[in-house]
Amino acid sequence: MRKHTWIFGTICSILLSIGQSAAQSFTYVSVDVPCSAFPSGTACPATGYAVATVANGINPGGDIVGNYTDGNNTSHGFLLRDGQFSTIDVDFPWAAFTIGAYGISPGGDIVGRYRAKPNTTADPNSAQYCDGTAACIKGFLYHLGKFSTVLYAGHPGAFAQRITADGDIYGCLHNHNTGNSMFGAAWRRSGNISLIAGEGELTDPTFGLPMSMNNGATPDGSTIVGFYTDMATPPHTHGFIVQNSFLQQPAWAACYDISGTPCYDVPLSTLTQIWDVNSGQQFVGTYKDSSGHQHGFLQLPGGSAPIQLDYPGASATIAFGINPDSVIVGQYSANGNVHGFAAVPATE
């Protein structure tokens, strides 16, 4: 990980100057990676910031990870800690570029994904294999200053999305596409890599859902959240909530897909994706309303309706991560540009 510094100040000090969004009871701050955090020799846009920045995950200490696009239109991961930005790029010789960092544990372990360089002579299930399809996308773990690849045996591609304090990783596996070959998965630190979603290996009715991703879990793994796309015409994307190995269907946002599978949809939405859950069973994600506008949302436990999240003045908002203090991170679009954001409850 190549480290660069920018004096961003702290999230709290910036928030004090932003003001409250009363409609959502959150204060918002934009997060943009500055050129000073770019790798040496990388082109800097005239704005002095990345072409696009996305905040994907946040841990209990407030460390934020995400991805950005530099002036050469190349993507990188980033870490924002104590007001300092660091670029995160895997150091594998077979890596073409780092797609982004997506999750960070309380102890600072980071997971994400990268793309391998073209190589069809390598073992088809190895980190080096890349045939130009989604098989080129691999997960990574950054632990104690060292990168390692996250894959599942028998499948050439994987996304590593979240990591818990115990080192369990949640995400998905796939073959040569991110459609019917993609299934939510988990990698357990306590034993061999174990598949928890897909292809009929388990009888639990939660799993075996194609085009699915496990995007987050409570620290003990008892609750897992994510989304999948059903086989309807046209296909429809739904959220899912798993508690103690069973799909849950909250009465305030319940749905059944075309096959009768219980799911979670924001009411009247045309698409719902759940992206993360915290230890208090609060989860966040995004949805599209009947007009096609995209919003973030926060779902509290206990039966209340989802809370709509919109970055002020944005044309679209996605909530990607939430920590135990209910601080939310994500991305918003405004004037044709993509920025990251952090949203802090107004009571904090």
Query: What does the block give as tokens for 124?
Result: 């088809």
Q: What does the pLDDT look like over 49-103, one tens digit per residue? A: 999 999 999 999 999 999 999 999 999 999 999 999 999 999 999 999 999 999 9
Between residues 5 and 162, the one the model is more confident about: 162
The pLDDT of residue 346 is: 83
What is the pLDDT confidence band of residue 251, given thresholds at 50, 70 and 90? low
The pLDDT value recorded for residue 13 is 40
SS3 (DSSP) at 310: coil
Using CA atoms, how far residue 163 sits from 60, 69, 102, 145, 233, in Å, is: 12, 24, 9, 16, 34
Reported for 49-53, long-range contacts at CB under 8 A and 24+ positions apart, including other chains, are 52/337, 52/338, 52/339, 53/78, 53/331, 53/338, 53/339, 53/340
Q: What is the mean pLDDT of the chain?
A: 86
What is d(CA 222, CA 64) in angstroms, rounded to the nearest whole number? 24
Q: How confident is the model at residue 200 (pLDDT cuts 50, 70, 90)?
A: very low
Give residues with Cβ within 8 angstroms of 221, minimum separation 6: 164, 168, 186
Cis omega (within 30 of 0) on the bond before 345?
Answer: no
pLDDT of residue 159: 95
* Residue 247, amino acid: L
Predicted confidence (pLDDT) at residue 4 exceeds the cutoff of 90? no
Q: What does the alpha-carbon distance between residue 77 and residue 147 come to, in Å, rounded to a whole number?
A: 13
Q: pTM for the full model?
A: 0.89
Output the CA–CA distances (angstroms, integers) from residue 43 to 51, 72, 115, 196, in the order listed: 11, 6, 21, 42
pLDDT at 197: 37
Q: Would you give the DSSP letter of residue 117?
A: P
Q: How much is the pLDDT for 51?
A: 97
DSSP letter string over 163-213?
E-TT--EEEEEESS-SSTT-EEEEE-TTSS-B--SSTTS---TT---SSEE
3-class SS string, 266-308: CCCCCEEEEEEECCCCCEEEEEECCCCCEEEEEECCCCCCCEE
| 192, 200 contact by CB (below 8 A) | no
257-271 pLDDT tens trace? 777 788 899 999 999
- How confident is the model over 292-347, as pLDDT tens digits? 999 999 999 877 889 999 999 999 999 999 999 999 999 999 999 999 999 999 86
Section 219-224 average pLDDT: 90
Contact between residue 338 and residue 7 where contact means Cβ atoms under 8 Å apart? no
User: Is it the case that residue 35 has pLDDT exceeding 50?
Assistant: yes
- Asked whether residue 17 carries a pLDDT value surpassing 50, the answer given is no
Question: What pLDDT does 120 receive?
Answer: 98
Q: What is the mean pLDDT of residues 161-187?
A: 90
Q: Where residue 25 falls among pLDDT bands split at 50, 70, 90?
A: confident
- The pLDDT value given to residue 190: 55
